[in-house]
Structure 1
């Protein structure tokens, strides 16, 4: 379903203390704008078979989120290529497509459209989304008044209303209170049991061990190890003792 071939991602970072667009343009035109190159990922390769649940682990800054964004098509790699067979639902930055001035109900249709759902489909699934989000009458309130937990519950409910072929998940099982976390985990397991191929990033090895088939360990922007959940998680724990 997913083939990642020799993917490298480099970013250019300005090392000048420039705080405005005007200063940036002036420095660029005068040839005084200097960059440092930062490698976020280096020569990453792995395959994911249909129906597999792959965990991606590593410390902060290892490149996990960057890798998911490349596979989702949000970023284009500097080198290498990624091929994905099937429709993708990326749950990377839940609620990033929301308009704070619109109500929760209006944002269901806005965010759903961004995810590629039709208006007719969203109308059909609206009550399911509302029920799962547990927002009740707050659905008609502008989301600028929502707590972060309320916003994440709504975003998760919209994103998981369908059963995609490929689901990309970045640390979203911490959404809401304990009750909603358990419900969101159950929803994830339901999607997985339906044959959805999943890439799952989490700092919780317990979640990875409970939900994944194989694991990719990123360290210093490279693949340090791939293998079964038990062998990779064991090596990871021993490495960071």
Structure 2
């Protein structure tokens, strides 16, 4: 389903602390802009097969989220190639693209469109989204009045309304209160058991061990270990 061939991802980080567009333009004209290069991923190759549930672990800055964004097509690698077969549902930043002045109902259509869903599809799934989010009494309210938990419930309900061939998850399995967190975990398990290929990042090792068949440990942009979930997590835990 996913083939990653000798992929590297480099970022240019500006050294100067420039606070305005005018200052930036002046510095460009004077050739005073300097950059450092940060290597987020360094020549990695990974294959993920259909139906696998793969966890990505590692310290902050190891390259986990960068890898997910590359697979999702949000980023283009500096070097190497990524081949993906199948429809992708990326749950990278729940609620990205929400307009806080619009109502919850309007944001279902806005956020759904950003995720690639058609208006007709969203209309057919609208009642299911509202039912799962448990926000029936708030759909005509602007979401700026929502708590962070309510926003996450709405975003999760939109993102998981389909059963994609590939699901990409970045640190979002604890959504809302305890009741809804359990409900969202059950939704995720249902997707996983249905043959969906899943790639997920989490710092909660117990969560990774419970849900994943295979784990890839990244450190400083390179693969340290790739194998059975329990075995890799145990080695990783011993190094902490």
Q: TM-score range by the shorter chain?
A: over 0.9
Instruction: Give the structure 2 partner of residue 117 of structure 1.
Output: 117
In structure 2, runs of 5+ residues without a counterpart are none
Q: Deviations over 1:15-44 (max 9, x none)?
A: 012111111111111111111111111112
Q: TM-score, normalised by structure 2?
A: 0.98
Instruction: Give the structure 2 partner of residue 78 of structure 1.
Output: 78
Deviation, 1:59, is 1.1
SS in structure 1 at match of 2:139: helix
Instruction: Give the structure 1 partner of residue 154 of structure 2.
Output: 154
SS in structure 1 at match of 2:230: helix
Instruction: Give the structure 2 partner of residue 91 of structure 1.
Output: 91
Deviation, 1:134, is 1.0
Deviation, 1:208, is 0.6
Instruction: Give the structure 2 partner of residue 173 of structure 1.
Output: 173
In structure 1, runs of 5+ residues without a counterpart are none
Segments ≥4 residues shifted beyond 6 Å: none
Q: Deviations over 1:111-135 (max 9, x none)?
A: 1111111111111111110011111
Instruction: Give the structure 2 partner of residue 223 of structure 1.
Output: 223
2:61 aligned with 1:61:
yes
Instruction: Give the structure 2 partner of residue 200 of structure 1.
Output: 200
Give the Cα–Cα distance (whole angstroms) in 2 for the partners of residues 182 and 211 of structure 1.
Answer: 14
Give the Cα–Cα distance (whole angstroms) in 1 for the partners of residues 166 and 28 of structure 2.
Answer: 41
Deviation, 1:138, is 1.0
Instruction: Give the structure 1 partner of residue 20 of structure 2.
Output: 20
SS in structure 2 at match of 1:36: strand
Q: TM-score, normalised by structure 1?
A: 0.98
SS in structure 2 at match of 1:121: helix
How big is the alpha-carbon RMSD for the aligned residues of Structure 1 and Structure 2?
0.8
